[in-house]
Amino acid sequence: MMRWLGLVLLGTITSLLAAHHAIAEDSVWESGDFHWKVGPRLVSVNQEHFPDSEHPWVAVKDPSIVRYQDRWHLFCTLRNQSKGDGRIRIGYCSFEDWPDAANADWRLLDLTMQYHGAPQIFYFEPQKKWYLIYQAVDESRRLRYGPCYSTNDSIDDAESWTKPAALYVVPEGKKAGLDYWVICDDSLAHLLFTSLNGQMWHAKTRLDQFPDQGWSEPEVVLTADIFEASHTYRIRDRQQYVTLVEAQHGKRRYFKLFVADHLDGPWSPLAASREKPAVSVRNVVNQEDSWATSYSHGEFLRVGHDQRLEIDPDNLTMLFQGADDREYQKGGYGDITWHLGLLKRVKLP
């Protein structure tokens, strides 16, 4: 009898400890008290990557990345020092592990010689195709940044992406946004984007009508002190969504987080102020050794690679573009020499 009671007591204590551990793990999603450790610069772009180019390449930015078949597949905006729209292109590289990233071979995607950038990569299971969502010049409708997509059967075949096609037709007389992002639930594809005026927009269509049919009229679902590049994910095991969005203060960029039970909102602030940001110089624990003071255009590393965009809430890592104050403030936005690095969430004692 005593042995049985002891086993019951041990089981109860184990269950209570497990429950306490689960609560502790999840508490950051209630408190918004995030802390991060930044690693070294991992990815830069220079003339060695494109020896035949007549103009130096100076910045790598807007990363979107997935892990597939034991390799990382990275798509980014690349910028060189030429004039006009041709200086902004989408580039692709692949590598096995992060120490290999700096020496990976880059390829420019042959999509258009006009401006295109800010890619998002995912595998759309219903069609068994890879999708790139991005923004591109659309002179036919006088849009500086129109929402576009390209598809491919093989993520590593840089030459086989289809030419840009409009994701949806922006109504005549209405402005488009920028930094387009697609995430899907079990029945709908959702499009989110920002518009540089503190607003995040949302539209949706049925999965069987994706990518270019049936989109609802975009509506504002979040108004806050935000700027651009809202990236939205499903938090695994929590039946909840999180959007990571860039904000700016003075000459620095930083991140905020908002959460919602549904992709069309309402979106509630989680870590969404200068005093309690998602990521800034305030909550990077090794900031004294950091190569960045602006944390910009970040992508959480996902659990998988499909259209659901799931992240592990207890194992958060972010790939971001960064610059220090000297790089950020030396000229206009187009002069910033962005680099890529990783932020790993840390749990303080």
For residue 282, pLDDT over 90 is answered with yes
pLDDT in tens, 188-215: 999 999 999 999 999 999 999 999 999 9
- Judge if 137 and 4 occupy the same domain: no
Q: What is the pLDDT of residues 73-106, one digit of tens each?
A: 999 999 887 766 668 889 999 999 999 999 999 9
323: number of CA atoms within 13 Å, CB side? Answer: 23
When pLDDT is averaged across residues 15-42 and rounded to a whole number, the result is: 73
pLDDT of residue 84: 66
DSSP-derived pairing of the beta strands 228-235 and 310-311? parallel
Whether residues 8 and 132 share a domain: the answer is no
> Are 324 and 216 contained in the same domain?
yes
The pLDDT score that the predictor gives to residue 74 is 98
Q: Give the pLDDT confidence of 293-308 residue by residue, as tens digits.
A: 999 999 999 999 999 9
pLDDT of residue 35: 98
The pTM of this model reads 0.90
* Greatest extent of the chain over all pairs of C-alpha atoms, in Å: 84
Q: What is the mean pLDDT of the chain?
A: 89
| Residue carrying structure tokens 């259209």 | 307
Q: How far is Cα 267 from Cα 262, in angstroms, rounded to an integer?
A: 8
Structural contact between residues 222 and 240, judged by C-beta atoms closer than 8 angstroms: no
Domain containing residue 91: 34-345
Answer whether residue 24 shows pLDDT above 50. Answer: no
Per DSSP, the chain holds a count of helices (H) and strands (E) of 3, 21
Residue 52 has pLDDT above 70, yes or no: no
Whether 9 and 54 share a structural domain: no
Q: What pLDDT score was predicted for residue 309?
A: 98
More confident residue, 222 or 330: 222
**Does residue 124 sit in the same domain as residue 152?**
yes
Q: What is the mean pLDDT of residues 238-250?
A: 95
Among 245, 253, 272, smallest CA distance to 321 is for: 253
248 pLDDT band, cuts 50/70/90, is very high
Split at pLDDT 50, 70, 90, the class of 6 is very low
pLDDT over threshold 50, residue 22? no
pLDDT band at residue 66 under the 50/70/90 scheme:
very high
Residue 105 sits in a domain of what CATH number?
A: 2.115.10.20
Torsion of CA 130, 134, 139, 144, to 10 degrees: 180
Torsion angle defined by CA atoms of residues 339, 192, 197 and 65, in that order, rounded to the nearest 10 degrees? 0
Residue 19 pLDDT exceeds 70? no
Same domain, 150 and 216: yes
The verdict on 278 and 218 lying in the same domain is: yes
State whether 65 and 146 are in the same domain: yes
At 105, list the tokens. Answer: 């071979």
Residue 44 has pLDDT above 70, yes or no: yes
Give whole-number Cα distances, 194 to 85, 93, 201, 220, 226, in Å.
Answer: 21, 27, 6, 9, 9
When divided into structural domains, the chain yields a total of 2
Report the pLDDT value the prediction gives residue 274, as an integer from 0 to 100. Answer: 96
Higher-pLDDT residue of 59, 55: 59
Q: Are residues 229 and 92 in the same domain?
A: yes
Q: Which has the minimum average pLDDT: 72-86, 228-242, 331-345?
A: 72-86
Find, among 144, 185, 195, 190, the residue nearest to 167 by Cα.
190
Question: Quick one: tokens of 136?
Answer: 């591109």
Taking only the tens place, the pLDDT of each residue in 115-154 is 889 999 999 999 999 999 999 876 665 666 789 999 999 9
Contact 164, 116 (CB under 8 A): yes
Neighbours of 281 (CB within 10 A): 15
Whether 27 and 45 share a structural domain: no
Specify whether 20 is located in the same domain as 156: no
> What was the pLDDT predicted at 334?
81
Cα–Cα distance, 40 to 102 (Å, whole number): 11
Q: Is the pLDDT confidence value at 228 over 80? A: yes
Alpha carbons within 13 A on the beta-carbon side of 340:
25
Same domain assignment for residues 197 and 171: yes
The better pLDDT of the pair 196, 235 is held by 235
3 state SS of 268: strand
> Alpha-carbon distance 204 to 217, whole Å?
8
The residue among 61 and 333 whose pLDDT is bigger is 61
